[in-house]
Structures are given as structure tokens and as C-alpha cells.
Amino acid sequence: MTTLLGKLEVESNHQPGSLAKDRRPFAETHVSHPTTSSMSFTYPSGSTPLDRYTIRRGIGMGGFGEVYFAVSEAGKEVALKRIQRNLEVELRGVSHCLNLKHPHLIALYDICRDDQEQAWVVMEYVAGQNLRQVLDQSPSGLDVTEVRRWLSGIAAGVDHLHGAGLVHRDLKPGNVFDDMGIVKVGDYGLSKFISASHRGGHTESVGTFHYMAPEIGRGEYGREIDIYAIGIMTYELLTGTVPFDGESCHEIIVKHMTAKPDVTVLAEPYRSVVAKCLEKDPANRFRSVREMTNALGITQTGPAAIHADAIQPNTPDAPIVATLANANANDSVSSKSSFTAKSSAPTGGRPQSPTAAVHHANVANDSEPLARAVRASVSDLQCWWHTLDRSPGAKFFLLIVATFVLIINTHWLLPLMSIVGVVYVPYYIVRQMVLHVSQQPSYAQAQRIATNTHGPARPMTRSQWRSQMRNDLCAKRSVHRAAELSTSWITAILTTLALTITAGVIGLRTGTVDSIAIAPYGWMAVVVMAAAISILGLGKLWERDEGESLPRRIVLAGVGGGVGLFAYAMNGFLMLPIDAGLARNIDSTTLPQALYSDGIPRASAMMAHFAILFALLRWWRPVDPLRRHRLSLWSVAVAVVGEWAVHQLLPIPQPFGMLIAGGIAIAIQMSAPWINPRVKPERIPQTPSQPAIPRSAHDGIAQELANARGPA
């Protein structure tokens, strides 16, 4: 405590007592923040400190510098945050956040430097109010449906940050915004890298201290500090007051460290959830934001349906009667509460944008139960391990004992681990694949949700849908990508086997069935598999954008050459007569001698043949998840005709060549992930009908889609 207080005494210019004078009830008091109208900004309207952006007006000033509303040359609206010079080093780290994309996070577009080497953060501009302003207008807290809407958005945004390995560190109502009904968390890129010591003391706000977890004084910045801050915000959202307030930042911090919050004014489940969030020991808090929102019945798989009184009716704040919904009838929370149904709008009666709705529909709780249990145990173990920090001797002793126990048990542990690995890994991969496919939002979903939630929506064009889906593909985690790819490979192998058996049954229905007759089918199968595996791999690399045709064709040519070499080698391995099927009268003198020896293809001929076949056709299209149909017979026909055309130039055994080309086209389409643009309606999450919102809100949605692609 002494450390934190000491630090703050140095870092903050707040004088004990002065806050009392400045403090507005329940509001963050920015000690030296003037009102926007009276603020004097460094740059007037029309200035262009950054080449591509023209400042329109100053928005506000925070601990990190001035914030401006600006437009790009192309007319895109952005917020520019001018960062103090002493933060330059830390800004390098912000690049980690530049590629984070989430509907509930304010997008960070770029970091630029002006002529004076001053750093600026370019970010998404939010025209709506921040939660601080909203709370200032509602001194006794918000309606519970609104509380849940804010919490759900904050939790989704922060959960995404945590998933990306980031801790916000500065969560507070002033950093949470309402963008056309979508809650967005901002200021995350900077706060991770900026400790209190970097802030300009004269601009520090006492509001910041209201949300600071006690362990920050010990220099601990785990994700639990965000959970603590969300707990404080939950309390404030419901009651309008923060649980720990005081005349000075010292007093507030002391309360964070020692005082028990008075949660009796809250009804269950809020009481126990807030109490758990505000535990002094971070190890006793929720392990994740998701765990916390689950405890509140705010599941991210769909609308909630618990009905509960959020505030005890006998408290002075009784006018607020919570009306919550939680579809999960088994939820222990619901059984404990006394319920009063008044409304069931899951988003607080506020319209959700299609993007947000699709997001909520898709962010299913996809964490695998076994993995979750293991993670929880590991996390418990870590917490317990940290409690031993003060006894390094005990830690060392325990390490020795654990190592010894492991070593003497390797004879059964290793086989057990191997069996678990063999069974669990394929199961995990398939599960991820199935979940991923079932969660993919579609064009039709987006449209339908838009119609449900916003009345007659402007229909989304296919190109808008593609662009939105492309963004989703970009945001996909590597583990999902890897899981999808391995599943595609397995599916391609199985599909090829099925195709080969079918071709074999047809081809060998007459005549002798012996190894010589079967061998060409085996050869075809392995060549199709090799080609399909290569193309699927490239498709996975390229699925994030539409891509340039020429570079892709060049890469494909190289891969095709490899497949040709493999085909030649396998041909030799299976001892097949490679000239057997050159199904046209070949005048061997017309064939290039470097490629053919007496009309028989050499390795170079096979390589050249497949290189041309691969470069000729746009093989990335049939593996693109955004293709129109899962299996297009047109693509198969194009592949076969393409192969025939190449055969005219550089012959290889036929009809195997054409069967291989057709087989590749079928195998890759059947195994590559596909987002169905015409999904069946019953797969669309049902949302209760919402009041229609003005056309301008739809424009906001379009803007949001544009924002997700970055500044113009």
C-alpha cells in the first residue's frame, strides 16, 4: 500500500482535499480537464498535422494527449489522438493492437508521426456518448436491460483483448462508448504500455482511481485488474455510485486495498458477481470475463432471459427493477432470484446492428470442456504457485519432488499421454472445424438479422457480404486456421479415396482385376491427394484477401511443377508404363527432346505439364470459403478441359490426366471450408423484434463495415 501511495503522491498532482471540491457526484472528476468548449487545442480546425487527415475539431483531452475529430482525404471520419513526446518508445508496442478487429473494440488504424516527430494514433471515430457521459445523466444508475447491454459489449471487447494476450489496464466508463447502439471499448492500445508514471499528472482524473485494482500497487497487471474494473463498472451502472469513493485519491486507493464493498444494495446475481470481481486477492476473482458474464446469465451464444431484480426493492434506488432474461432455465442464478418480468429485450431494448447481432450469434462458447477444465486447473495451480513467491525454498523443494515423481512414473505416464494425444487431438480438430462451420455467419443471416432488428433494412450486396466475411476470415485465429486446414486435408484424402474407388469400380468392371490393373488408380489417387493438399494449403494462406492473380499463378506454377515431379516419381515407383495412355497419335519428333525421350515423358515433361495446368486455372477460387457453391460442376469441367488443352501441348497418359484434374477439382471443393450464402432460416439466431431505427443507423452500420477495413 505504501508503495502505491508513494507512487501516486509523486505521480499525481492531486492535493488531498482538492478532490472533494472538484468532485461531482459519481462522476470521474478530471481535475484539470476543462470543458470541451473552453479547451484550447494545439491544432485549429482545417489544420493538417498529418498529411492525409484534416482536423475538423478538438474532441477532448486525456491523460495521453489531445483527441481530435478529423477526416481523411477520401472523407473517412477518424479520431486522432496526439500523444505526448515521452510515450514514443511505448508506442512501438501499440502496433500489437493495430490488427485487432472486433465489433466491440474501437479500431486502431495506424500510428503516424507529424513533421515534429510527434506521434498520433489514428482510430475509429465514435460519434456517440461515452459511458461516463451516460452515467452522469443518470445519477441513480441505468435500467438493468441497459446495464446488461453495456456489460455484454464491454465483456465481449475485453474478452477479445484478453484472448489476444492483452490487458486493458485502464477500463473505466470514459473509455467505453456507445456507437449507434454498439458498445465499444477504446483506449486499449495505449493503456497496456503506459503506466501511471507516464501520464501527465496535471491531466490525471480521479475517475481512473475508482477503477484501479489493489494489486496495481504491487505492479501486478494481470487480466484480473480488468475484471476488477468491470466489477466496479457493474456496480456503478446499477447504482450510479462507485463502491469506493473518497475525498482524495489516497482515500480511494486505501479503500480499494482494505475496505469491503457494500454489495448489499445489489440483488442477486449481481451481488455475488460484483463481490467476486472486487475480491482483494486477484486469485479469488473470476478467471475470465466470460466466466463473469456467464454468472450474470449474459451468455454470448444468444439472448439472455433471466428475470431478476437488480436492486433490492427496499433500497433508495428501488425504482430500478431489473428485467432480465436468461434462456437457460437451469441457470442456478435464475433459481436463486426473485423475478419480475417487465421486458425481455436482450440488448436493453436498443437496436443491435447486424454486425453486432451476427457477432453475438457467432461468438459461441466454443471452448472445449476438457481443455477448459485443464486450463482452469492450470490457472489454479499458477495462482497457488504465486502464493509461494515469498518462499523460494519451498518452491524449489516442490519442484524437485514433482520432477522426481514424474520421472519415476514415466513408464505409465508416457503411454497414457500418447493415448490421450491420439484420441483427443483429432477430436479437438474435428470439433473446432464443426463449430467453426456452424458458427459462420452468412450473407442471408446478416440480412435476416438486419431485417429482424431494424425493420426494413437496406439489403446487403454480395460484395458487402464478401468484404464483411473477408474481415471475419482475417480475424480468425491461427489455431482455427490450422484446425480447418488439417480437417480439409483429411477430408480431401477421404474424398479422393472415394472417387478412386468409384473410378476403379467403373473402370475395372470388365477385365481382370489384378495389381497391374489397379496400379494406375493408385497412382491417380496419390497425385490427386498431393495436388489437393498443396492447393488447400495455398488457399488457406490466401483466404484473407481477394489477392492478385499473377503472383498467385506464379506460385501455383511452382507448386504444379512439384506435383508433376511427384507424379513422375510415383509412376516409376509403381512401375507404370508411362507412355501407355498417350491417347493421341504422337509424332515424337514434334515433341521437345528435352522433355520427351522417344515420345515418352521425362520428369521435366510431367513437371512442365502440371506447372502449366496449375498456372492456367485459378485454383484458389474453388477453395475460397466465399465461393458461391460448395461444389461447382462448372469448375470441374473447366479443370478437365484445361487439362485436355495442356495435353495437346505437352501430352501425358490419358485419360488419367483428365481424371486427375477432375478429381483435384472435386476433392478440393468438397474439403475446403465454405460459408453458405443461402443459409437455412432456422439456423439464424432468433431475435425478438426490435423497434425500427432510423435510416441513419443503417448508414452507421455501413460505416462500421467500412471502418472494419481501416481508414481510406
Ligand X SMILES: Nc1ncnc2c1ncn2[C@@H]1O[C@H](COP(=O)(O)OP(=O)(O)OP(=O)(O)O)[C@@H](O)[C@H]1O
Per the annotation, binding residues are 81
Is 135 or 582 the residue whose CB approaches ligand X more closely? 135
- State in angstroms the smallest separation of the CB of 259 from ligand X: 24
Give yes or no for residue 673 binding ligand X (CB under 6 A).
Answer: no
Give whole-number Cα distances, 618 to 176, 349, 463, 535, 622, in Å.
Answer: 45, 47, 20, 10, 8
The count of other CB atoms within 10 Å of the CB of residue 434 is: 11
- State in angstroms the smallest separation of the CB of 61 from ligand X: 6
Residue partners of 448: CB distance under 8 A and separation at least 6: 681, 684
- State in angstroms the smallest separation of the CB of 28 from ligand X: 8
Q: Cβ distance 208 to 172 under 8 Å?
A: yes
Stretch that binds ligand X, among 54-62, 267-275, 396-404, 410-418 (CB under 6 A): 54-62
Stretch that binds ligand X, among 61-69, 148-156, 239-247, 600-608 (CB under 6 A): 61-69
Give yes or no for residue 153 binding ligand X (CB under 6 A).
Answer: no
Considering only residues 31, 50, 55, 59, which one is a binding residue for ligand X as defined by CB under 6 A?
Answer: 59
Considering only residues 26, 53, 125, 209, which one is a binding residue for ligand X as defined by CB under 6 A?
Answer: 125
- DSSP letters, 254-266, are HHHHHPPP--TTB
DSSP classification of residue 543:
T
Is 125 or 614 the residue whose CB approaches ligand X more closely? 125
Stretch that binds ligand X, among 124-132, 289-297, 663-671, 694-702 (CB under 6 A): 124-132
Residue with the CB atom nearest ligand X in the bound state: 62
Query: Which cell numbers in the block locate residue 25?
Result: 457526484
- State in angstroms the smallest separation of the CB of 46 from ligand X: 19
- State in angstroms the smallest separation of the CB of 66 from ligand X: 7
Considering only residues 26, 53, 64, 209, which one is a binding residue for ligand X as defined by CB under 6 A?
Answer: 64
Is 67 or 535 the residue whose CB approaches ligand X more closely? 67
Considering only residues 63, 269, 561, 622, which one is a binding residue for ligand X as defined by CB under 6 A?
Answer: 63
Is 62 or 710 the residue whose CB approaches ligand X more closely? 62
Rg (CA), the chain: 31
Q: Which residues of 177-200 are buried (b: 16+ CB within 10 A; e: fewer)?
A: bbbbbbbbbbbbbbbbbbebebbb
Give yes or no for residue 175 binding ligand X (CB under 6 A).
Answer: yes
Give whole-number Cα distances, 429 to 433, 439, 581, in Å.
Answer: 6, 15, 41
Separation CA 463–CA 238 (nearest Å): 42
Give yes or no for residue 123 binding ligand X (CB under 6 A).
Answer: yes
The count of other CB atoms within 10 Å of the CB of residue 18 is: 15
Considering only residues 103, 174, 625, 700, which one is a binding residue for ligand X as defined by CB under 6 A?
Answer: 174
Give yes or no for residue 182 binding ligand X (CB under 6 A).
Answer: no
Is 65 or 240 the residue whose CB approaches ligand X more closely? 65
Q: Cβ distance 226 to 253 under 8 Å?
A: no
Stretch that binds ligand X, among 118-126, 213-221, 530-538, 619-627 (CB under 6 A): 118-126
Contact letters for ligand X, residues 80-99 (x by CB under 6 A): -x------------------
Residue partners of 619: CB distance under 8 A and separation at least 6: 535, 538, 539, 556, 668
Is 63 or 261 the residue whose CB approaches ligand X more closely? 63
Is 170 or 224 the residue whose CB approaches ligand X more closely? 170
Give yes or no for residue 60 binding ligand X (CB under 6 A).
Answer: yes
Separation CA 324–CA 344 (nearest Å): 6
Is 108 or 570 the residue whose CB approaches ligand X more closely? 108
Q: Cβ distance 213 to 225 under 8 Å?
A: yes
Query: Which cell numbers in the block locate residue 394?
Result: 519451498
Q: For 205, list phi and psi in degrees, rounded to 5.
A: -110, 145
Number of residues lying near ligand X (CB under 6 A): 20
Question: Which among 291, 356, 347, 299 has a CA at the least distance from the CA of 323?
Answer: 347
Is 106 or 708 the residue whose CB approaches ligand X more closely? 106
Stretch that binds ligand X, among 121-129, 138-146, 292-300, 533-541 (CB under 6 A): 121-129
Is 39 or 417 the residue whose CB approaches ligand X more closely? 39
**Which residue is listed with cell 471520419?**
77
Is 190 or 607 the residue whose CB approaches ligand X more closely? 190
Give yes or no for residue 106 binding ligand X (CB under 6 A).
Answer: yes
Identify the bridge partners of residue 311 per DSSP, sorted by sequence position. Answer: 266
Give yes or no for residue 672 binding ligand X (CB under 6 A).
Answer: no
Query: Which cell numbers in the block locate residue 108?
Result: 486502431
Give yes or no for residue 625 binding ligand X (CB under 6 A).
Answer: no
Separation CA 523–CA 571 (nearest Å): 7
Give yes or no for residue 130 binding ligand X (CB under 6 A).
Answer: yes
Is 50 or 296 the residue whose CB approaches ligand X more closely? 50
Considering only residues 67, 108, 167, 525, which one is a binding residue for ligand X as defined by CB under 6 A?
Answer: 67
Give yes or no for residue 351 binding ligand X (CB under 6 A).
Answer: no
Stretch that binds ligand X, among 117-125, 275-283, 333-341, 538-546 (CB under 6 A): 117-125
Give yes or no for residue 62 binding ligand X (CB under 6 A).
Answer: yes
Give whole-number Cα distances, 184 to 129, 175, 280, in Å.
Answer: 11, 8, 27
Give yes or no for residue 170 binding ligand X (CB under 6 A).
Answer: yes
Is 652 or 705 the residue whose CB approaches ligand X more closely? 705
SS3 of 356-403: HHHHHHHCCCCCCHHHHHHHHHHHHHHHHHHHCCCCHHHHHHHHHHHH
The count of other CB atoms within 10 Å of the CB of residue 385 is: 13
Give whole-number Cα distances, 515 to 518, 520, 575, 593, 663, in Å.
Answer: 5, 9, 11, 32, 22
Q: For 63, list phi and psi in degrees, rounded to 5.
A: -65, -20
Is 188 or 656 the residue whose CB approaches ligand X more closely? 188
Residues in the chain: 712
SS3 of 401-425: HHHHHHHHCHHHHHHHHHHHHHHHH
Considering only residues 55, 79, 142, 661, which one is a binding residue for ligand X as defined by CB under 6 A?
Answer: 79
Binding residues for ATP: 81
- State in angstroms the smallest separation of the CB of 130 from ligand X: 4
Separation CA 112–CA 122 (nearest Å): 7
- State in angstroms the smallest separation of the CB of 349 from ligand X: 24
Considering only residues 143, 146, 187, 484, which one is a binding residue for ligand X as defined by CB under 6 A?
Answer: 187
- State in angstroms the smallest separation of the CB of 472 from ligand X: 23
Region of residue 499 (left: phi > 0; alpha: psi -120 to 50; beta: else): alpha
Stretch that binds ligand X, among 53-61, 229-237, 283-291, 539-547 (CB under 6 A): 53-61
Is 125 or 244 the residue whose CB approaches ligand X more closely? 125
Stretch that binds ligand X, among 168-176, 361-369, 495-503, 516-524 (CB under 6 A): 168-176
In the three-class reduction of DSSP (H, G, I as helix; E, B as strand; rest coil), residue 65 is classed as strand
Stretch that binds ligand X, among 49-57, 122-130, 267-275, 566-574 (CB under 6 A): 122-130
Triad 275, 276, 278: Cα angle to 5°: 65
Q: Cβ distance 176 to 183 under 8 Å?
A: yes
Stretch that binds ligand X, among 125-133, 469-477, 556-564, 678-686 (CB under 6 A): 125-133
Separation CA 592–CA 650 (nearest Å): 9
In the complex, which residues of this chain contact ligand X (CB under 6 A)?
Answer: 59-64, 67, 79, 81, 106, 123-126, 130, 170, 174-175, 186-187
